[in-house]
Amino acid sequence: MKDEEHQRLVELEDQGKVLIGVDRIVARRFYTDLPISTIEKETGEAPYLDKLVVWFAFLMGPLALAASLVLAFVAFKWWGLIYLVVCPLIYLAYSSASVRGDSALPGISIIMVAAVCIHFLGPIANSRATGFVSLFLLSLWSVRFLYCSSTFLFRCFVIRNARAFRFLSDRLKIRYV
């Protein structure tokens, strides 16, 4: 695809006549698996900030989950064993659901903000328990943010960069509306 054809496709996308999509797993793997030097060599652009955002979310999910499990034992003593089993299962199920194209950030964001407000504003006296809930919700938010942000950043990357579009065209889904 020549630069003029790419520009025309971008114009059609701006007008809503073309949808440029990508699998969320493909977008995440692009940022987590491909070295920045390879991306720059193939596209002429090094998306450092994009990669940083995706890696932040990629690491924050498991770290927040681990921290929440530690806090579960601090808050609930031996009852924390229940959370040690249940929370990772919920996290894995939520991760699987986050890969779907129709999963979005607003729902988990609102719930997480509410939990953090409850934790810091103190209507519930047990700050360890609310801290556990807040950290666990942060882990869920992070995994959802990982897939939403990587997809958004990937689409923006191929729309603004014709070389990236050509390099990644086999991974794109283009649909005329």
11 band by pLDDT with thresholds 50, 70 and 90: confident
Q: Is the pLDDT of residue 119 over 80?
A: yes
Q: Is 60 left (phi over 0), alpha (psi -120 to 50) or beta?
A: alpha
Mean pLDDT of 80-107: 94
Strand partners, 21: 173
Q: What does the pLDDT read at residue 26? A: 94
pTM assigned to the model: 0.89
Could you tell me the two tokens for 82? 């229940």
Strand partners, 174: 20
Q: How far is CA 94 from CA 48, 63, 157, 160, in A?
A: 28, 16, 27, 31
139 band by pLDDT with thresholds 50, 70 and 90: very high
Mean pLDDT of 83-110: 94
Q: What is the pLDDT of residues 30-63, one digit of tens each?
A: 999 999 999 999 999 999 999 999 999 999 999 9
Could you tell me the two tokens for 83? 């959370």
Q: What does the pLDDT read at residue 106? A: 93
- CB atoms under 10 Å from CB of 108, counted, come to 20
10 band by pLDDT with thresholds 50, 70 and 90: confident
Mean of pLDDT over the chain: 92
Could you tell me the two tokens for 54? 């995706």
Q: What does the pLDDT read at residue 15? A: 85
Q: What does the pLDDT read at residue 52? A: 97
Spacing of C-alpha 87 from chain mean position: 19
Q: How far is CA 30 from CA 54, 84, 167, 174, in A?
A: 10, 32, 12, 18
Q: What does the pLDDT read at residue 83? A: 94
Contacts of 83 (CB under 8 A, 6+ apart): 68, 69, 72, 76, 132
Q: What does the pLDDT read at residue 102? A: 85
